[in-house]
Chains A and B, each alone.
Chain A
Amino acid sequence: MILGTSRREMIQSLFGGAGTMAVSTMFGWPDRARAAPLGRYAGPATPGKAKHVISLFLYGGPSQVDTFDPKPALLRHQGQRPGQVEGFRTERETGGLLPTPFSFKRCGASGIEVSEIIPQLGSVIDDLCVIRSMYTFNPTHTPGLSLYHTGTVLLNRPSIGSWISYGLGTENENLPTFVALDPGKLSGSIIRSGFLPAEHQGAFFSDSEIEPKKMIPNLRNQWLDSQTQRRQLDALQALSRNYSESFGEDDYLNARIRSFESTYRLQAAAMDAFDIRKEPEAIRVAYGAGTFANGCLLARRLVERGVRFVHVGLGGWDTHKDLEQNYRERCPAMDQAAAALVRDLKQRGLLEETVVVWGGEFGRTPVSESGNGRDHNPYGFTMWLAGGGFRGGLAYGMTDEFGFQAVKKRVSIHDLHATMLYALGVDHTRLMYRYAGRDFRLTDVYGEVVKEILS
């Protein structure tokens, strides 16, 4: 009897209905809910060994010609319209070519030129893989943002974080697999699980708070101790399973049963994992002050504890005017925190298994808008990656002489997604989900792995 029966059936046969609850309490968790969501990627493993991703996302679109893509021709042709650039088009009314107000300097052993406005990132350039030939397909924020995170402008597809959570599963059952940190409102595309199972949605927390109890609403119960709550949960799970037996398997109900278990454990785990005040003073100082610094440091703590994908958002890069003043105010904190993150991961030996990716939904025009700003530009812009098998100290691809359009070794957003998945051991053509009568991929029918940017 014992060999031919599952543990649950045996317990039920011995104790009757209520036995399920009582005995599962004795053993810890109910067995069904205990099974962690495993990675569902079943394709062949690529050589990529990365396990985690930290996505530093600069809403609004940072400017390439003021940061990582020097264009001296802008000064020579200042104020002129770049008539010879093929396909030249801007969204709003724009003026002549606007040279950058910042000087560029060769950095590191690789000698890649980086703007003076981001000196800390310049100092870690030998760990950065700078892609100067990124392009995407839409010049407007909402669809651009959706393309960046989901590979499509349609607002119902899963984000890259959800795909990775689905494909690779969890390494820490006490924490969400996919966390998004942002001080304000978060756009749906960033955390959307879409048609993927509901538990792969990103868990969104505000990094404007640093106390876990304030950052995560309702983290603690003021009235019940954890044992009482455990009993409540056991009863609830018993009711849910009973319910599920009466109408059959349901992904959504199963997800909720699992979510209750992980949430119960999250209450204790988050008090530690989400508390950056537990970091030594020197580390806090290295990252700097402000929400982005807190977000970057928290991202490192979470990755260290096995979270798969952490999104850290920073707004304010939509500089249609007053670019110089804006960058002088905004760049130092971003620069310091992003560079500190790369250094910190490296020192801990985590950089090899963590992909850090930096960018915005598009770049900006080399021509001026409102005299001293720049318009949206999806035709050519810069992103960088660090760690996770990406080649540091590499400047890959080229834009035209003014930095308007990617012209050499062009990398589309789908190519980048394909390459990131490759770095994580996943063949992007084999990570699929069947929905609405066909198989879907993060890269849909697009995407070429760019092997030259991997070491």
Chain B
Amino acid sequence: VYGRISRGSELRSGGDSRGTSNVLKAFDFPDPMLSSEGREVTVNSQQQLFVLNSAFMHDQAAALAANLRNEDGNAAKIRGLYRKVLARDPSAKELDIGLSYLADGTVQQYAQVLLSTNEEIFLP
């Protein structure tokens, strides 16, 4: 989600006059005009709205799903998603949760779920 971190060059993604993008701002990116020892850590509704509803998240999920088009079967698709998103395999329980979801949902929707996990959003 953080994308490219170059201070003051994010105007294209709809930033303010100081050049910080709205997405970075929502996730506590420090003001480029001030010195800052680090990022403050907050949890707010704007972050969750971004994760749930933004075009960015929708597009990334769609791209992931398209990428996994040729994987055969739901278990393989879930494994593929975990490798691409979290760079690891799912645990048995995680696979279970994913399979229950896919019984009545799409790979794209589940890709968005994985993109929304703390593990992904706050990748160190």
A interface residue numbers (CB < 8 A to B):
16-18, 21-22, 156, 176, 185, 188, 192-193, 198-199, 201, 203-204, 216-224, 228-229, 231-233, 235-236, 238-240, 242-243, 252-253, 255-256, 259-260, 262-264, 266-267
Contact = CB atoms under 8 A, between A and B. Distances in A.
A3 B23 CA distance: 47
B44 A203 contact: yes
Contacts of A235: 97-98, 100-101, 110, 113
Given A229-B52, A239-B117, 17 more contacts: A18-B97, A18-B100, A176-B45, A199-B43, A201-B42, A203-B44, A217-B46, A219-B53, A228-B109, A232-B109, A232-B113, A236-B117, A239-B97, A242-B91, A253-B118, A255-B43, A263-B48
Please classify the interface of chain B as helix (H, G, I), strand (E, B), loop, or mixed, using the class held by over half of its residues. Answer: helix
A259 B48 contact: yes
Given A21-B100, A255-B43, A256-B43, A216 B49 contact: yes
Nearest to A216: B49
Contact of A203 (B46, B53, B91): B46
B36 to A, nearest CB: 9
The 3 closest A-B pairs by CB, nearest first: A263-B48, A198-B43, A218-B53
A211 B93 CA distance: 43
A233 B49 CA distance: 12
Contacts of B110: 232, 235
A224 B54 CA distance: 11
A260 B97 contact: no
Contacts, number: 123
B58 to A, nearest CB: 6
B105 A231 contact: yes
Contact of B97 (A176, A228, A242): A242
Interface string B30-68: 010000000011111111111011110010000000000
A95 to B, nearest CB: 32
Nearest to A231: B105
B52 A243 contact: no
B97 to A, nearest CB: 5
A228 B58 CA distance: 14
B71 interface: no
A188 B44 CA distance: 14
A407 to B, nearest CB: 37
A223 B46 CA distance: 18
A188 B40 CA distance: 10
B89 interface: no
Interface in B1-51: 16, 18, 22, 31, 40-50
B108 to A, nearest CB: 9
9 contacts: A18-B100, A21-B100, A156-B40, A176-B45, A193-B42, A198-B41, A218-B46, A219-B53, A235-B97
A18 to B, nearest CB: 5
A313 B118 CA distance: 33
A193 B95 CA distance: 36
Among the interface residues B18, B58, B116, which one has the most CB atoms of the partner chain A within 10 A? B116
Contacts of A231: 101, 104-105, 109
A53 to B, nearest CB: 19
B44 A201 contact: yes
Interface string B104-124: 110001101110111100000
Contacts of B42: 193, 198, 201
A166 to B, nearest CB: 13
A437 B19 CA distance: 38
A204 B28 CA distance: 13
Contact of B100 (A22, A223, A255): A22
Nearest to B112: A232
A260 to B, nearest CB: 5
Contact of B96 (A18, A203, A220, A256): A18
A239 B45 CA distance: 19
